[in-house]
Amino acid sequence: MSLNPSYPQAIHPLVERINRAAQRCTSAGGSLRFESDIVRRDLVAAAEQLLMAARSPEENVFAIAQQPAQNAALRCAIALGIADALPADGSPRSVDDIASSTGADRSLLSRILRACASTSLLSEPSELYYAHNAVSRTLLSPANRALLTLMFDYNGRAVVALPEFLQARKWQDPGSYTDCSFMLGCRTHLPMWEYRDRDETCRQVFDLGMQSEIVAALSTGKASGPFPFGEELADNNNYNNNNLQDDDTLTIVDLGGGRGQALQEIREEHPQLSAARFVLMDLGPVIENALAAGLPSWIEPVVGSFFEPLPVRDARVYYLRRCLHNWDDAACRTILRNVAAAMDATRSRLLVTDMVVDDTHAAREMAWEDLNMMTIGGVERTERHWHTLLAESGFRVHRIWRNSATEHATIDARLK
Ligand SMILES: C[S@@+](CC[C@H](N)C(=O)[O-])C[C@H]1O[C@@H](n2cnc3c(N)ncnc32)[C@H](O)[C@@H]1O
């Protein structure tokens, strides 16, 4: 086994960096508090680099390659309902007891639980006893379980098929919405959204999964993203090109808004906007699902496709969160031109919350998300790419609000 070339020079500076970050964190009442999220993320980055530096190159590449088995253990734990089978107070339960409540074979179950414990997904306080820890408790949330199921059963299959798909195309292009590795991996002739809307299980896990706090925490930091909705929109005088009349109702239209999760987060985090008109637009089956799941009465549901002229015109805000990265540039131009056609020339603005990718040293989450998007014909975009795409579709970038610690951002765009 060869040694990592960065060893030992990298180790000591990384340990010092970790110590410095740890000093900027305090513990109170059993929880840790970091000076800022940037400090916390720097600690994570340094700890990961330390792990890489301390392992050999063979160990590092093997750690990447063995991830499918870890994913499988997690997916089995979800399917078996392990989170509900363990005592919520963190006390241990024996494999025998868990086997009798889940109906799984004891020896099979012990191998799955052992695999989960090996990645700290569960605690293993003593031989053949398992208990909840902070990670396994995330599986108590149905929305989190739905997201992880979506990532394994659909995105996972699509991404596993990606090398075969690209090789068949001689590595010349990433495919498109109607010809993509999602279709190869999920063995369907339907592209992503059509497949989801016809497959009840997929629709349920997708729509519920989009409400998961894992997505919110990882993607936008603050649930509603980095754009200060309250400050920017509650005060009419703060509006660029201000010519609002006193009786103007602030209308926010969330395009492709799923079950209205973004609107709910915005209203909760910015109570000064509670008198606004909140409109949720999505495809018919999604709106149906949102209503069945109990949409709050203050959200106005509208069935529509952003590939057609928009049914709500002249709204102050058209919001597209985590939608445009699903589509290639040609499709995005169609969507954006439909938004532009619905906008009032001076009073409307477009807000896009998505990744704005750094030109170098891309974060792992971004790289994962970009390949994930590639499987359905989408892409994560750099700042330059966003400027070009928006300009080609009739917009100018007014301001980019960045999340301080991730590559997620909200682009405030106006008509040219
Ligand atoms: C990745 S999800 C994002 C959901 C939500 N905006 C969020 O941030 O949680 C993309 C959304 O786009 C919707 N969508 C797909 N095609 C659409 C279309 N043609 N018109 C409107 N919405 C569409 C999907 O139904 C889905 O809700």
Band of the pLDDT at 365, cuts 50, 70, 90?
Answer: confident
Kindly state the tokens that stand for 395.
């917009």
**Least confident residue range of 21-35, 73-87, 187-201:** 21-35
Asked: is 67-138 a CATH 1.10.10.10 domain? The reply is yes
Q: What's the token pair of residue 222?
A: 């603050």
Q: Lowest-confidence range among 13-17, 39-43, 286-290, 383-387?
A: 39-43
Selection from 198, 143, 335 nearest residue 255 by Cα:
335
pLDDT above 90 (res 218): no
Distance separating alpha carbons of residues 123 and 298, to the nearest angstrom: 43
Nearest to 179 by CA among 187, 189, 193, 164: 189
Which of 229, 310, 284 minimizes the C-alpha distance to 262? 229
Strands 123-126 and 129-131: antiparallel
CB distance 328 to ligand 1 below 6 Å:
no
Report angle CA 96, 98, 102 to the nearest 5 degrees. Answer: 120
Q: What is the CA radius of gyration of the chain?
A: 23
Is domain 219-361+376-415 given the CATH code 3.40.50.150 in the classification? Answer: yes
pLDDT of residue 373 exceeding 70: yes
The pLDDT score that the predictor gives to residue 133 is 97
Nearest Cα to Cα of residue 13 among 52, 55, 46: 46
Q: State how far the Cα of 113 lies from the Cα of 94, in Å rounded to an integer.
A: 11
Q: Is the CB of residue 257 below 6 angstroms from any atom belonging to ligand 1?
A: yes
Average pLDDT score, the chain:
91
Q: How far is the C-alpha of 22 from the C-alpha of 30, rounded, in Å? A: 16
Pair 125, 110: CB distance under 8 Å: no
Q: Annotated catalytic residue: which of 132, 270, 325, 408?
A: 325
The CA 173 to ligand 1 mean position distance, Å, reads 24
Q: Residue 327 Cα, ligand 1 centroid: separation in angstroms? A: 11
Give 223-278 pLDDT, tens digit per residue.
567 899 998 987 654 444 444 444 468 999 999 999 999 999 999 989 989 889 99
Cβ–Cβ under 8 Å, residues 318 and 348: yes
Find out whether the beta carbon of 323 lies less than 6 Å from any atom of ligand 1: yes
Task: Measure 302 CA to ligand 1 centroid, in angstroms.
Answer: 13
The residues facing 12 across adjacent strands are: none
Provide the residue type at 65 as one letter.
A
Alpha helices in 246-325 (DSSP H): 261-269, 284-292
Distances 221 to 214, 227, 371 between C-alpha atoms, Å: 10, 11, 21
Condensed to tens digits (0 to 9), the pLDDT of residues 128-176 reads 999 999 999 999 999 999 999 999 999 999 999 999 999 999 999 999 9
Test site for ligand 1: of 323, 350, 372, most ligand atoms within 8 A of the Cβ: 323
State the pairing for strand pair 31-34/25-28.
antiparallel
